[in-house]
Each structure stands twice: as C-alpha cells, then as structure tokens.
Structure 1
Amino acid sequence: MNRQALLLIVLLAILGAVAAVALAGWQARSTPDTARMPVSDGPLRIVSLAPAVTETLFAIGAGELVVGRTEYCDFPSAARNLPTVGTTLTPNYEAIVRLKPTLIIGEATKDAPLEELNRIAPTRLLPWLTLDDVLAGIRETGRLSGHLPKAEAIAGEMGRRLKVPPPAHGPRVLLAMDGTPGQLKEVWFLRQNCIHGACLNAAGGRNAVDDEVVGVAPVLSLERVIALDPEIVLILAARTLSEDERRQIVEDWRGLPMLSAVRNSRVHVLDGREYYINGPRILELVDKLQLALRRE
C-alpha cells in the first residue's frame, strides 16, 4: 500500500468517513456494555489498538500495563519498546494471542473486527472523534485500567481548555488536510464537530465550515472553497514536510487568488503526525494554532 493510501485510511478512521450518527448506531449494537466487561483475576495485560489510547494509557500512569501496540503507536518513547500487533483495522491476531492480553482497547471504527478480537480477550472499542468522545474515552480508559483519578484530572483540564464556544469575532479559518503537493483539486477539511474544531475555537478562530456534518466525506470542491472565502487557511499535515513541500503547498493555494486568505498571505502549514492523534497532547495544537492565527 502506498503512503498516500495508507495516510488516507488513518485519517478517515480518525475523522470518521461515515456520518457520526450512523457510527454511533453501530457502536450501540457492537460495543460491549462497560458494566458487563469481564474482570481478570490476575494483573491486567492491555493491548492498545490506537495511538490515542496508547498515549492516554501512559499519560494516566498505566503504561506498565500495556503489553502491545499498533505500528503507529510511537508516543511516548517507551511505547516504541513494545511489540507491535498490526493496526485497528488489520490486527495481527497471532501476535495478539502470543501477548496473552486480558483487555484490548481501541477506537471505534465501522469496520473494526470486534467479534474476532473478543474471542482473544475482552475488547472495548471507544468513540474517539468529538471532544465529548475524547473526554469520555480518557475517563473510560482510566476506569478500565484502574487509573481513574489521573484520567479524571487530564479530562477535566482538557474540558476546561477546549469546551468553549466559537469566538463571536474570531477569524474564519479553513482547517485543511494536506494533499499531494502540486495537485490542489479538492480540499479535505477538519469538521467543526471533531476535536480539531474545538481546538480552533480555543485558539480564537471560527471554523469556516460550520456544518456539523457535510455529506459522507469531509471534502470540499474548489468552488465551495471559493464561496466560503476563509480569512485564514491552515493546512495540518500528518507528516513532517520538507521545506520544498511546504513551499509547494502554499504555492498551490496561490492558484486561488480570489480568496481573502491568499490575497493577505494568510495560508500557513503546520506539520506533525501528532496533530491527528486525539490524545492528551492535542492541547499542544491549541498553542500552535494560536501562533498561526497571529501571523501576518
């Protein structure tokens, strides 16, 4: 699988390629009720199937309970020493079985193989898209791992910083995902109802696309972008870019000179895969967004 296709799968899993309502209905049918989760008599052995879950487990002090991770779980550095077990959508069942987990935790996605994972160990797939999802997921991860007080503290701080309304007079910002440099034909964007929309509001900006859900996929035609006419365009790249790639992305946007953001040189690029991992570190994005909004 090439890098672009793999990146697209990861982004769609995080941002919800299907409508949130449909996914919620699937979760209600397919995710075991928390109160009925079996309890192991021995020490917990947790396999994490999502980078945000891995980051959260270490942040709340439960890192020593984690025995396996996905190949994308690389934070904190201690997590890199753990065996990998594939991905959420394509887990390596043999590798998971060898680790003898007593609990598997991951993010709820439509095609996650919940039934197969449950045959190995009790599995909890948690919604992890909106701010409320993330806060509830952190608390539930704390409860499942026996580290609820620290989880409550982290979720409380995130809620305090991020549960703010869009600023009445903040600039209208298009939060865009990076595409292929030199090929700006459509724009994948970050919805207001995902945690990135909350981060933008906390940073002092308003999402130029304020619809809760736009179609099935978060994608805009260039005509729609022109009609929205954002004051600022911020491109969040899910990888580290070279300087040439950064320049090319900004240059691509200059092909839309009618946009206010382009005319006023307010098209900026932020790169880093951590921007797409909705764990406790997402608060760092607020600070980066604030700096970007102040740039002229």
Structure 2
Amino acid sequence: MKAVLLLSLALCGGAAQAADIVLKDDTGATLRLPAPARRIVSLAPHVTENLFAAGAGGQVVGTVDYSDYPEAAKKIARVGGYSRLDLEAVAALRPDLIIAWESGNAPGHVAKLRSLGIPVFISQPNRIEDVAEQLEKFGQLAGTSAVANGAAARFRARLAEIRKQYSGQPRVPTFYQIWKQPLMSVGRQQIISDVISLCGGSNVFGQVEQMAPKVSEEAVLAANPEAIIASGMGDSRPEWLDDWKRWKQITAVARDNLFFVPPELIQRHTPRILEGAARLCEHLETARHRRPAR
C-alpha cells in the first residue's frame, strides 16, 4: 500500500512538472509558467491582436491604447499607452502573465513589473516569419495551441504564396515614409523592410540599423527611389505624400509612383501584415509596369 502511495505521489509530481510551460522570449530570456496563463496583460497593440488570433483574446484582462483590433479588443481595460504605462493599473489587474514589446515599452517599466513577481514575456518580431512563431508561442502560453497553430499554418501558407509570386522580380528601389515631421523611414531591422524585400523591392535606407531612422529630404533625393510608399496615421492617404511632387527629378515622382498602404495593415506585427504586404507588392508591380520600354 505504501509503495502504491509513493508511486502515486511520484506520478502526480511528474504530471505537475510536465505541466510547466517553458519558453524563450524574443530577447532569449527563459520564461516558466506553472500552467497556462488565465489573466494576461498586453502592453502593445500588436500583442493584443496576436493573442486574439491565437485564440487567447478571452484571457486578456488589460491592454494599452490603440489596441483596437479585433472589435472585442476595444472593450478591454486600458493601462495607459505602450510608452506611458500606469504600473499600478497593471498590478491591480492581478495578471499571471504580461506580454511586453521590446522596442515600444520602457525597460524601466518592464523591470518594475518583474520586480513585483509577475512573469513577463518580451515580444519583438522583426521578420515576417516571426509572426507565425509569435502565434504559436502565445498559444503555448495561454493553452490555446490548437487555434494558434492553425492560425500560424495559414499565415505561413499565405506568406509562401506571396513569396512565390514575387520572388525573382526586378528590384524596385523603395522609400517607405512613416511620417513627415520629422521625416522618418524604416531601417534594416524593421519588419516593413522585410515586407519590401518580400515584394521584390529594396529599401533605400535598408543599411541603417535604427528601427525608425530620421532622414533628410537631401538623403531621399540622393537615394532616388523608384517608388515612395507612405502610411501615416489613419485609413486615408496622407496629404503630405503629394509634397514629393515638387521634386520632379525623383524617379518615383516622374513616374507617379507615390503609393499608400494603411498603417494598421503594415505597421503591426500581426497576421494582417500579409494584407499590407499584398498591397505593397501590387504597388511595386505597378512601378515595374511603368518603366520605359527598352
């Protein structure tokens, strides 16, 4: 009887140990959870969207401003903005997991939350392929892998279709403009630069290490992009995109290759980035068709 009891206890202990969730986040830090998270606070809009896509939207109890997709995300309690968190509001939600954004959240805020004993997973998907991996990891963290793995598989399949369609196309030198004042673009490590490459473009500021470097008009003129693509802040084409028309010597202006992609489709590291990629690819294909006949 004693041997049976000891065996039972050993099996229970082994089961508990097996239930532990152990994952490395995007900084390489190891996170351990004793069980799937049931109360998650998301500290970035893309994290919130990916949690819903991974089937864990119902477990998100707090998030930040601009977490507006899907519709259900708008009803979640706010804990400030991603760069100006209300740490007391975060703690008051009693989360068993916080998912933060490395390049968006202040390191001091993340350190403070960790000091409270709250597990923190850091997200930083810099390549398109990373989105699928994020979905899978979020599914593991939340215990929703069945949904998350399906979403990741669909993402990879669609990505493969786009890559097949545009691989081998002639390169299009591209300037991606995030904002006008200050004039900002995307550097090598930004996911939008990866989208440009997927579409057969070459980011004219792709050698810059900064995520969102400030650039000058003179630098854009010197780069002479064949296409200029802007995002802005909303669903409408920003008026300042047409400000480039005064520079007739830029190839993109001369050929009317001034294009717009809605920011929510391309500036968030979520499954919807493939919608943005498809639009950007179509714009670069238009630019190819506008090349003079040889």
Structure 2 Cα separation of the partners of residues 65 and 179 of structure 1: 38
Is 1:49 the counterpart of 2:43? The answer is: yes
Q: CA deviation at 1:148?
A: 2.4
Moved more, 271-280 or 224-233: 271-280
**Matching residue's letter, 1:79:** A
Aligned residue-pair number: 255
Q: Which residue of the partner structure matches residue 226 of structure 2?
A: 231
Q: For the Cα contact (< 8 Å) 1:139–1:148, is it kept in 2?
A: yes
1:200 is the counterpart of 2:201: no
Is 1:33 matched up with 2:30?
yes
User: What's the CA shift string for 1:201-220, capped at 9, x where partnerless?
Assistant: 33x33124263434685233
Q: Corresponding residue for 1:60?
A: 54
The CA distance in 1 between the partners of 2:137 and 2:77, in whole Å, is 24
Q: Deviations over 1:166-225 (max 9, x none)?
A: 644142222221314xxxxx74212354322332333x3312426343468523322222
Structure 2 Cα separation of the partners of residues 239 and 104 of structure 1: 28
Please say if residues 173 and 231 of structure 1, whose CA atoms lie closer than 8 Å, have aligned partners that are also in contact.
yes
Alignment of 1:1-296 (within 5 A): 27-28=27-28, 32-34=29-31, 37-40=32-35, 44-109=38-103, 111-112=106-107, 113-118=109-114, 119=116, 121-162=118-159, 164=163, 167-180=168-181, 187-202=183-198, 204-209=199-204, 211-214=206-209, 218-241=213-236, 245-246=238-239, 248-250=240-242, 252-295=243-286
Q: Distance between the aligned counterparts of 2:88 and 2:211, measured in 1?
A: 34
**Which 10-residue stretch deviates more, 64-73 or 193-202?**
193-202
Per-residue Cα deviation, 1:235-269 (whole angstroms, up to 9, x for no partner) = 1223244x7x52x431x101211111111111123
Residues 40 and 60 in structure 2, CA contact (< 8 A), matched pair in contact too: yes
User: Contact 1:176–1:190 at 8 Å: present in 2 too?
Assistant: yes
RMSD, aligned CA? 2.8
**Per the alignment, do residues 137 and 111 of structure 1 end up closer, same or farther by CA in structure 2, a change over 3 Å counting?**
same
The amino acid that maps onto 1:171 is: V
Alpha-carbon separation, structure 2, partners of 1:39 and 1:167 = 47
Residue 58 to residue 208, structure 1, CA distance change in 2 (3 Å) = closer
| Long gaps (5+) in structure 2 | 1-25
Counterpart residue type for residue 249 of structure 1: L
Structure 1: segments with no counterpart, 5+ residues: 1-25, 181-185
Equivalent position of 1:183 in the other structure: none
In the TM superposition, residue 115 of structure 1 has moved relative to its aligned partner by 1.9
CA shift for structure 1 position 57: 0.9
Measure the CA separation in 2 of the matches of 1:289 and 1:133.
Answer: 19
Taking structure 2 as the reference length, the TM-score comes to 0.75
Rounded Cα–Cα distance in structure 1 between residues aligned with 2:131 and 2:222: 32
Deviation at residue 138 of structure 1 after TM alignment: 2.4
Q: CA deviation at 1:126?
A: 1.8
Q: Compare relative contact order (CA 8 Å, sep 6+) and give the higher one, 1 or 2.
A: 1
- Largest Rg, 1 or 2: 2
Deviation at 1:132, TM superposition (A): 4.5
Q: Secondary structure at the match of 2:52?
A: helix
Superposed CA offset, 1:17-38 (max 9, x none): xxxxxxxxx935xxx412xx23
**TM-score, length-normalised on structure 1?**
0.75
